[in-house]
Amino acid sequence: MRKKIVAGNWKMHKNAAQTEELLNELIAKIPAETDAQVIVAPTFVNLASAVNQLKSTAIGVSAQNMHQAESGAYTGEISADMLTSVGVKTVILGHSERRAIFHETDALIASKVDTALQHDMTVIFCFGEELKDRQSQNHFNIVENQLKDGLFHLQAKDWEKIVLAYEPVWAIGTGETASPEQAQEMHEFIRETVRKAFGSDVAEDVSILYGGSVKPDNAKEIFSKPDVDGGLIGGAALKAEDFVAIVTAI
């Protein structure tokens, strides 16, 4: 069933003490009656303690990345088994910062998706066009290709573990957000693209999150659109007050 989800991608922010402090604030402030699934993605080194701190709450924990191999000589990398062994069952893959700064390709991301699914993890799959793509009216093509190259080798049943996060690169960390109409237009296109390949059940059930400068003052309008099932939040996830306001907006 399609779920409402608000996930906070903390990126490379918050040390151990700050992580504990922010989580305590979220535990205290997120209303128990919210019908959204709330997820936080602290950095690798704070995942185990976050899982521990949140174990009697409904707040989930996600990693921000992982390596595609089971194990091996990959200095500095983290495997799916390492994540699940500390209780992390969700991973963000394909974030535009991984694609742009760390040169992750669609093929690499697809292999990370496979590894995550083999470990029964949920994948928050990020994709979205750059400003130049939108300016040249190529944004639908780009998004369709990222989806196809990253996920269309899967079986219909695998989609139970997939959450889509449409994040137009020009809206990330810029303060410039897609308008609710732009978000809806793209989310509808994404759902239609999934429908053509995997059928209506998969398309109706998959949650499609919007990410890119979601703030307390624009969240409600974006989330009100029928194909927007929640948000992947960067900057505003680092302040309890803002993140809680965004969770409440859904």
169 interacts with ligand 13P by CB under 6 A? no
Task: Tell me whether residue 9 or residue 115 sits nearer to ligand 13P (CB atom).
Answer: 9
Q: How far apart are CA 226 and CA 58, in angstroms?
A: 25
Which residue number has the CB closest to ligand 13P?
234
Q: Tell me, what DSSP letter sits at residue 36? A: S
Tell me the C-alpha distance between 193 and 70, whole Å.
Answer: 31
Annotated catalytic, 167? yes
Q: Verify whether residue 13 is a known catalytic residue.
A: no
94 touches ligand 13P (CB under 6 A)? no
Which is it for strands 122-127 and 90-93: parallel, antiparallel or unpaired? Answer: parallel
In the complex with ligand 13P, the residue whose CB is nearer, 198 or 229, is 229
100 binds ligand 13P (CB under 6 A): no
Catalytic residue among 97, 104, 129, 167: 167
| Position among 104, 129, 133, 167 found at the interface with ligand 13P (CB under 6 A) | 167
Please tell me the distance from the alpha carbon of residue 195 to that of residue 161, in angstroms, as a whole number. Answer: 16
| The token pair that represents 19 in the structure block | 């992580």
Query: What's the closest the beta carbon of residue 59 comes to ligand 13P, in angstroms?
Result: 17
Contact status, residue 24 vs residue 228, Cβ threshold 8 Å: no
Q: 146 and 106 in contact (C-beta within 8 Å)?
A: yes
Contact between 40 and 26 (Cβ < 8 Å): yes
Site for ligand 13P in 188-227 (CB under 6 A): 211-214
* CB 209, min distance to ligand 13P, A: 9
60 binds ligand 13P (CB under 6 A): no
First vs last C-alpha separation in the chain: 17
Figure out which of the listed residues 198, 235, 246, 250 binds ligand 13P, where binding follows CB under 6 A.
235
Should residue 172 be labelled a site residue for ligand 13P when binding is judged by CB under 6 A? yes
CA distance 36 to 6: 7
Task: Tell me which residues are annotated as active site.
Answer: 95, 167
What is the contact surface with ligand 13P in residues (CB under 6 A)?
A: 9, 95, 167, 172-173, 211-214, 232-236
